[in-house]
Amino acid sequence: MAQPFPATAESYKNVSLGLSLTALNNDDSWQSPSSEFAFGIQQVEDDGCLLAIWFNKIPEKTIVWSANRNSIMQRGTKVKLTEDGRLVLNDRKGKQIWCADTTGSRVAYTAMLDTENFMLARHDSVNLWESFGEPTDTLLPTQIFS
């Protein structure tokens, strides 16, 4: 369940509506304030990639979370925070292959936090969706497992 995220609890860099990342350049990501963690499209095979969160300051970019992890995507895949506040992942032909579930919510921005959590929030900083709410195979130090 989404919890309020007080703006004073941690500094973060907001990603505004309408911004996107495309799987063409490995350096394209949304980073936490310390740049310790990054959210973006990470290459995992010669021509394959995942929408993921990874440790960003180590030589081998170790993935700690991924969306749609059983389906490796091809270069040209795009993740976008749409103007209407949806975080969607589209293949290179534009077909939606994953979406963060924020149905009916008014997302204002997203941010990659130094706690290793990626979140979507309203203008009043109420957290509407978070990567911690969709755990994969890695439990992170600040993650609450319910």
Question: What does the alpha-carbon distance between residue 4 and residue 25 come to, in Å, rounded to a whole number?
Answer: 34
pLDDT of residue 76: 85
pTM, 2 dp = 0.80
pLDDT digits (tens, 9 = 90+) for 94-122: 999 999 888 778 899 999 999 888 999 99
DSSP letter string, 47-106: SEEEEEEEE-SSSS--EEEEESTTSPEETT-EEEE-TTS-EEEE-TTS-EEEE---TT--
Each domain of the chain, given as residue ranges in start order, spans: 13-133
When the pLDDT of each residue in the chain is averaged and rounded to a whole number, the result is: 80
The residue whose two tokens read 């600040």 is 142
Answer whether residue 134 shows pLDDT above 70: no
Question: What does the alpha-carbon distance between residue 25 and residue 76 come to, in Å, rounded to a whole number?
Answer: 10
pLDDT of residue 85: 87
- In terms of average pLDDT, the best of 18-22, 27-31, 96-100 is 96-100
pLDDT of residue 135: 56
Tell the CATH superfamily of the 13-133 domain.
Answer: Bulb-type lectin domain (2.90.10.10)
Higher model confidence: residue 146 or residue 51?
Answer: 51
Rounded to an integer, the average pLDDT of 6-23 is 67
Handedness of CA 60, 71, 19, 14 (dihedral sign): negative
